[in-house]
Structure 1
Amino acid sequence: MIRTGASALALLIAGAAGAEAQLDELRVGLVAHDVVDHAEDGPQVSVEALFSSPDFLARVWSPRPYLYGSFSTQGYTNLVAAGLAWDGHLTERLRIEGSLGISYNDGVSDVVDLPPGDPYRIRIAETRALLGSDWLFRSQVGADYMMTERWAVGAYYEHFSHGQILGNGRNQALDEFGVRLGYHFGG
């Protein structure tokens, strides 16, 4: 199921960016998962590919298209996302970034189909984030420090939620903090 969502997102971003976009940056990270509710404690491993901004996005401050994945090391919710990332320099080496996108997850939507006293329902409700939808919005803010011309380290916060738009009813959402190492391919 996660492969189908990842494939759909990859096709969406590739079609939107067209042949203009080149791989601009690759990041790997370690993410503290579900830091607000703690239903799904445990680290995630993240991978993100950012592409150069295609010319048609110049009207909206030239964001970079991205593909993102956050994968559970504990058997909990995995997420893949695609969207746009805007960044700006505070200093020559310090960069800030904000991004918006859509994600697909293999987590638990809800447990309403199970009887209230069912032991499985009780265990799932206590140990899993009940997200209300397979599709969630992803918003992220972060900062990166350029150690060299090519290598950067950074930290970020991200929020996944359907906002009662991509789903209805249950919306426990996920909040995550991460650290990342990035490699810039451009000059």
Structure 2
Amino acid sequence: MRKTIMSGLAAAALATGAAQAQISEFRLGVVAHDLARNIEDGVQISGQIVFDSPDFLAPVWSPRPYLYGSFNSAGNTNLGSAGFLWTGNFSERWSVDGGFGVAYHDGVRDVSQLPPSDPDRIRLANSRALLGSRFLFHTQLGLDYAVTPSVAVGVYYEHFSNGQILGQGRNQGLDEIGARISWRFGR
């Protein structure tokens, strides 16, 4: 967990310093964890910092860079990611966003290296998602309602998976759905 937090802080410092980007939004959420298989216990507490889109991203519809962290309440898989969000408003108060990024996790990759009768192999195979790779793709889709110009509430779905590209073998992935509150700064 310490590695995940330190990696996230380093990525945040690098992204902020390199791009000298303004923060456009901060999101705090509660996420139902591992919905597809329901093998990992706990809920996730998530935080996301969304930056203004830099000018050089205008040719690809001005996505906003983000940093994301998700921490499990039962000590299972924690995740950190960085990527891009594309946001569209379809009314004065309603917006939808979709995102794509790369995540790093501290969960279980695989148990095939352990003997079949090993108690740890059996316990992990029955209680943890086997993600196959330390790095995963992170996709997300969200719907938000602006309560005020600076506060929004929303729901979102996210999926973490190696896609058999970032890892070989296991790829159980994680599907999650959550609710969030967002504080918007000058958007």
Shorter-chain TM-score: what band? Answer: over 0.9
* TM-score under structure 1 length normalisation: 0.95
User: Within 1, Cα distance between the matches of 2:52 and 2:79?
Assistant: 23
Corresponding residue for 2:4?
A: 2
User: Within 2, Cα distance between the matches of 1:57 and 1:18?
Assistant: 12
User: Contact 1:23–1:50 (CA<8 Å) still a contact in 2?
Assistant: yes
Report deviation, 1:185.
1.1
Letter in 2 for 1:9: A
Corresponding residue for 1:123?
A: 123
Corresponding residue for 1:33?
A: 33
User: Within 2, Cα distance between the matches of 1:41 and 1:3?
Assistant: 21
Structure 2 spans left out of the alignment, 5+ residues = none
* TM-score under structure 2 length normalisation: 0.95
Label 1:66 to 1:133 Cα distance change in 2 as closer, same or farther (>3 A): same
Give the root-mean-square deviation of aligned CA atoms.
1.4
Secondary structure of the 2:179 match is: strand
Percent identity over the alignment is 56
User: Contact 1:6–1:104 (CA<8 Å) still a contact in 2?
Assistant: no
Secondary structure of the 2:141 match is: strand
Secondary structure of the 1:144 match is: strand
Corresponding residue for 2:181?
A: 181
Corresponding residue for 1:18?
A: 19
Report deviation, 1:119.
1.1
Report deviation, 1:7.
4.3
| 1:59 is the counterpart of 2:59 | yes
User: Contact 1:35–1:41 (CA<8 Å) still a contact in 2?
Assistant: no
User: Contact 1:49–1:68 (CA<8 Å) still a contact in 2?
Assistant: yes
Secondary structure of the 2:28 match is: strand
Letter in 2 for 1:13: A
Structure 1 spans left out of the alignment, 5+ residues = none
Structure 1 residues 35-70: Cα deviation after superposition (integer angstroms, max 9, x where no partner): 001110321100000000000000100111000001
User: Contact 1:13–1:82 (CA<8 Å) still a contact in 2?
Assistant: no
User: Within 1, Cα distance between the matches of 2:79 and 2:15?
Assistant: 16
Corresponding residue for 1:134?
A: 134
Corresponding residue for 2:154?
A: 154
Which stretch of the first structure deviates more once superposed, 3-12 or 167-176? 3-12
Corresponding residue for 2:109?
A: 109
Letter in 1 for 2:118: D
